[in-house]
Structures are given as structure tokens and as C-alpha cells.
Amino acid sequence: MSRAHEGVPPVPDPLAELYRRQAAVTAMGGPERIARQHQAGKWTARERIAALVDPGSFEEIGAHVLPRAGGVDPGEAPADGVVTGFGRVDGRPVYVYAQDFTVLGGSLGEMHAAKIQRVQDLALKTGCPLVGINDSGGARIQEGVDALNGYGEIFKRNTWASGVIPQITAIMGPCAGGAVYSPALTDLVVMVRGTAQMFITGPQVIQAVTGEQVSAEDLGGADAQLRKSGVAHFAVDSDAEALALIREILGRLPANNLEDPPLRPGRDPEAIDLRTLVPPDPNKPYDVRDVIRGIVDQDSFLPFQEGYADNLVVGLAYLDGHALGVVANQPRVLAGTLDINASDKLARFVRFCDAFNIPVLTLVDTPGYLPGTAQEYGGIIRHGAKVLYAYAEATVPKLTVVLRKAYGGAYLAMCSRALGADLVLAWPTAEIAVMGPDGAANIIYRREIQEAADPAAVRRQKVAEYRAQFAHPYVAASRGYIDAVVDPADTRRWLVRGLATLLNKRERRPAKKHGNIPL
Ligand code: HXC
């Protein structure tokens, strides 16, 4: 008699067992929780990944990973609440993790964290971008310090990968407490309005400690983290929009720091008359985004952090098919002054471009740094120094166009020749001087103005004299600080040719462990 007849169960068909287990993993938190997820306007982890990668390109790794901690029923935790693997975006490889809120609230335990670390390690080793999709109740309470340690291991890998591979995070649900720091360590954060929330301490804690009442959305929703804190780079209306945006961004970036960004077919810019765009009155604003659109390939400009420090515009574009980072003072907001937030926005963007071999175009029209005690006490010296540091450190091709005002320290800061610009152009409307005509006349002609019978008239006259003498591009051009004064209509031609010539630029800095950017 065979053993099977003695009551020993038959060996299961190995394939049937595999498919039974796969089905359990695919079911994740079960139909009820999935329905609740959909009612909340959120997709599941696998639905999100399917929308992110090219159709059919995703391969999941670690599907059989389960929690091993006491207090968590492994049967309740398929894939340990996070889907990890690799796929392709526009045919280019990418690693992904997506937390699934339907499994234990997407909470992060030891093995959940280990799965994320696995794709971080693989992405770094292979030089592939990593996209993280966050939707989680945070540290899995039952797993205690093992969960905390898991976060630490993730933060460390985020840091090691920084500047080597693009790391993009989508926030599509709760992301609270220390959990926010993995997204914050990545290059770009995309948040979905209405469902994404990021905060260190939630509304209840804030009310208990400070008495302040604030809703979760107002505290840490997409618009709050985009506009108020500058933590998020993009706020969008749905999971679908977020994932389409991430595909678009990945398409503009190299896979890693050793590659160049992909080329696209060049396109003519929008038909915008640059000759008449800058008003003759230096105190009249205009929208610098029109200048950008009049220079770069049509429909290619993708602004970052729109709504935060809008006195400075930054974003990715294409110039005759080449990827380009654009930095521009915005005279419409705070007259285009540089303040603390604009400095941080600028420095981080320039370093992002430099890390990923994206040339930087800087459009200058700034009267200087924003005055005030709030700025001084807030550390504008320290924050403004980041701008100098980022530009001086960057080795990518750097092109600068002075549109109008470029005064004093801000002239230097906005990628001047002294900071290493490779091509510096000025429009005939440019005013490059140590300070604006009003301030300058008041100082150097103070006595004459004071002693005049009609001080106001003399002041006006002295301002006009100063303007005629200094507030134009030709003094700077005569010293070689400006390479060419150009007709605005020729700007694009100059930049296209300049960039094409600079693409093989190689510049080295002294070897060091790392710099000490004033943080
Ligand atoms: C274990 C959790 C969990 C957690 C949620 N769940 N958060 N399980 N650990 N941290 C489970 C719930 O028990 C529930 O299980 C399911 O996930 C869905 O949660 P709900 O509360 O029903 O959902 P919702 O009403 O949408 O509320 C979501 C939430 C809330 C706001 C995220 O769950 C919440 O406040 N969770 C606790 C958040 C928290 O304090 N986390 C620790 C933060 S400390 P069932 O079985 O009912 O579906 C931290 C430190 C990190 O993260 C430090 C790193 C340095």
C-alpha cells in the first residue's frame, strides 16, 4: 500500500500551488477594502503601477514576502502591503514600489521596508530611476522598533541614491510622521489633491499642543505642501494625473548621473514678440513665462513648484530638442526680488539639473534681494548663499540672458559670468549696475540733492544721469562680463547655437569628499 493510502495528503500540483498563492497576493486586502479604496478616489497599488509603466511591462518581485513579526497575521498581509518590481516607461527600465492601503493600511513593517530597500538597492546598482508610491498609515504599530529601523534603512538608501538616479515620489494617501522623510529625500514629490496628506504632527496633536485648529487637508494636503511649505513640487487632481506626470518627467531625465537626458525632435517656439515684451518703464512688470515660451520649444515648458516662491520660475523645457532647465526671475511677483524661499527653490533646482546633466538657462530681471527684518532674521544670507553655491558648483552648460534689471549681489547670483556662466547675453533693455538708479543717485549725489533749491528736481535729474551713464548693458559688455548684447528676436538662435557648442563641455572641480553648502 502506498503512503497516500495511509492518510498522508498528496503532494500538491506545484503549479496549482503557485497560482493559488498568486491569487491570494493579487486579492490584497480583499474586495471590501478595495471598494473602500476606490470610494475614496484612490487606486490600488497594482492599478497605480499599471498606469505608470508601459502596458504589460511590470514584473513583480517579492510577492511572497510576508511579515514575520508577532502580532501580525501573515494571512492578512499579502505581499506585506507593498508591491515592488520593475517595468518600463517609454521602453526605459524603472524600479517601482507602491504601498497598498488595503493591506494593514499600507503600514510599514520590517519586511515591507525590506522590500522597498530591495528595489532601492537594485535601482542604484543598475542606474535606473526609482518611483515610490506612498499610501500608508506609517510605521506598523505592531512591529515597533523593527518598523522604525525599516524607515531608517530606507532613508539611508534615499540619501545614497541622491544625485545618482532620479528618485520620484507620488503621495496618494496618508504619509505622516517620520514617514514623510523618504519622500523629502527624493528629487521630486507629486501629491494628489484631496487624498494625499503629509505632515510630521497631525491636526489632533497640533490642537492638543498649541490649541490651533486646522483640517488635515489645510495642514498637509497637496496645495498646502506645494504653496506654503514648498515640500511638494506638483499638486494634481487624481492618481491618473499624477502617474501620467511622472511618466512625462521620467521621459525628460537620464536614467542616472552618467547618462545624458534623452533628446526629442526640436520644435519652433510659440510666436511671441520678444522685442515688445519688456516694458520700457523699468518699474512695469511683465510675465517672464512669456519670455520662456517665446524661447523654448513649443509646449515644452514644465514648471516645478508653481505656486511657491512665484517671484522665481523654474522648470524643465526643451531647446531645439535638448533638455534644458530654466530659471527666471518673475517681475510680476515681488518685482522679481530674490528672497529666502526663491533662493531655496533656485538652488535645489540648479543642483537637480547639474546632477542629471541638464544644461541651465537663467533669465535675469531682478532688482536684488528682498529687504526686511523677516528676511534678515530668517537667514537670507545663508539661503542666498545657496544660490551662489549651486551655480558656482554646477558644471553643466550654463547660459544666461539679462533681460532687464541685474543689480548688485543679485546680478552676480543669477549665474553671472563670474559664477561660471558659459554664455552671457543681454538684451538692449538690460541694466547692469551695482545698484538701481534711485538708490545710487540718492547716495552719490546726496549733498547736491540736499543743498539744491528744488531737491526733487535735482534728484530726478541725477537719477536720469545715472541711468544714462550706468543703467544699460554696455559697461558690463565693455568689460567682457556680457558676451553679446542681442536683439531679443535673436535670443533663441543665440541660445540654440550656444547650447549646441557647449554640449561637450567638460569642467572639473577639485576632488573632495563633498562640499559644505550653507544649508
Ligand atoms: C498598523 C494600521 C496603521 C498602522 C492604519 N492601520 N495605520 N495598522 N499600523 N500605523 C490599519 C487600520 O488598523 C485599519 O485596519 C486599516 O489600516 C485602515 O485604517 P483606517 O484607520 O480604517 O483608515 P482611515 O480611516 O482611512 O485612516 C487612515 C489613518 C489612520 C489616518 C492613516 O489609520 C491612522 O491614523 N493610523 C495611524 C497612524 C499612525 O499613528 N501611524 C504611526 C505614525 S508614527 P483594518 O483591518 O481595520 O482595515 C510613524 C513613525 C515613522 O510613522 C518614523 C520614521 C522615522
Residues 6+ apart with CB under 8 A from 233: 188, 189, 190, 226, 304, 305
* Total Cβ atoms within 10 A of residue 203: 18
Q: How far is CA 257 from the centre of its chain?
A: 16
Largest CA distance in the chain: 126
Residue whose C-alpha is closest to residue 135's, from 184, 170, 95: 170
The model's pLDDT over 33-83, given as tens digits with 9 standing for 90+, comes to 999 999 999 999 999 999 999 999 999 999 999 999 888 998 999 999 999
Q: Of the residues 107, 154, 157, which should be mutated to test ligand 1's pocket, given the most ligand atoms within 8 Å of the CB?
A: 107
pLDDT at 2 (0 to 100): 47
Pocket of ligand 1 (CB under 6 A): 33, 104-105, 107, 137-141, 148, 151, 174, 176-179
211 is catalytic: no
Residue whose entry in the numeric block shows the C-alpha cell 548621473: 257
Residue whose C-alpha is closest to residue 499's, from 402, 391, 358: 358
Asked if domains 13-250 and 274-434+471-502 share a fold, the reply is yes
pLDDT above 70 coverage of the chain, percent? 99
410 is catalytic: yes
- Measured CA to CA, the distance from residue 111 to residue 116 in angstroms comes to 9
Q: Which of 69-73, 476-480, 509-513 has the lowest mean pLDDT?
A: 69-73
Q: Which of 41, 127, 194, 409 is catalytic?
A: 409
Grid cell at residue 269: 517656439
pLDDT at 438 (0 to 100): 85
Measured CA angle at 300 (ends 391, 247), to 5 deg: 95
Q: Is the pLDDT of residue 280 over 80?
A: no
Grid cell at residue 387: 544660490
Q: Is the pLDDT of residue 3 over 60?
A: no
Q: Using the 8-state DSSP alphabet, how is residue 76 labeled?
A: G
Axis-axis angle for helices 340-355, 380-393 (nearest 10)? 20
DSSP E strand boundaries for 270-397: 302-304, 312-319, 322-329, 360-366
The mean pLDDT value of the chain amounts to 95
* Total Cβ atoms within 10 A of residue 240: 14
Grid cell at residue 168: 520620484
Q: Which atom of ligand 1 is nearest to the CA of 105?
A: 17
**pTM reported for the whole predicted model:** 0.95
Grid cell at residue 124: 542604484
DSSP letter string, 249-276: HHHHS-SSTTSPPPP----PPP---GGG
Q: Which of 178, 372, 379, 515 is catalytic?
A: 178
152 is catalytic: no
178 is catalytic: yes
Q: Which of 8-17, 27-36, 368-377 has the lowest mean pLDDT?
A: 8-17
Residue nearest to atom 8 of ligand 1 (CA): 104
Residue pair 341/314 in contact (Cβ under 8 Å)? The answer is no
Please give the CATH superfamily to which domain 274-434+471-502 belongs: 2-enoyl-CoA Hydratase; Chain A, domain 1 (3.90.226.10)
**How many angstroms is it from 212 CA to the middle of ligand 1?**
23
Grid cell at residue 43: 487606486
Residue pair 499/324 in contact (Cβ under 8 Å)? The answer is yes
Residue pair 128/95 in contact (Cβ under 8 Å)? The answer is yes
For residues 504-519, average pLDDT: 95
The model's pLDDT over 244-259, given as tens digits with 9 standing for 90+, comes to 999 999 999 999 999 9
Residue pair 52/131 in contact (Cβ under 8 Å)? The answer is yes
Residue pair 304/315 in contact (Cβ under 8 Å)? The answer is yes
**How many angstroms is it from 229 CA to the middle of ligand 1?**
24
**How many angstroms is it from 174 CA to the middle of ligand 1?**
9
pLDDT at 5 (0 to 100): 58
Residue whose C-alpha is closest to residue 367's, from 401, 409, 421: 409
Residue nearest to atom 30 of ligand 1 (CA): 137
Give the start-to-end residue ranges of the domains of the chain. Answer: 13-250, 274-434+471-502, 437-470
CATH of region 13-250 = 3.90.226.10
> What residues form DSSP beta bridges with 328?
313, 363
Contacts of the segment 474-480: beta carbons below 8 A, 24+ positions apart: 475/432, 475/433, 476/426, 476/430, 476/432, 477/426, 480/417
DSSP letter string, 312-330: EEEEEEEETTEEEEEEEE-
pLDDT at 326 (0 to 100): 98
Q: Which atom of ligand 1 is nearest to the CA of 106?
A: 17
pLDDT at 45 (0 to 100): 98
For residues 14-20, average pLDDT: 91
Residues 6+ apart with CB under 8 A from 23: none
Q: Which of 176, 317, 406, 410 is catalytic?
A: 410
The model's pLDDT over 132-183, given as tens digits with 9 standing for 90+, comes to 999 999 999 999 999 999 999 999 999 999 999 999 999 999 998 889 999 9
**How many angstroms is it from 206 CA to the middle of ligand 1?**
18
Q: Which atom of ligand 1 is nearest to the CA of 152?
A: 55
Q: Of the residues 38, 104, 110, 182, which should be mutated to test ligand 1's pocket, given the most ligand atoms within 8 Å of the CB?
A: 104
pLDDT above 90 coverage of the chain, percent? 89
Q: Which of 276-285, 313-322, 351-360, 482-491 has the lowest mean pLDDT?
A: 276-285
The model's pLDDT over 104-120, given as tens digits with 9 standing for 90+, comes to 999 999 999 999 999 99
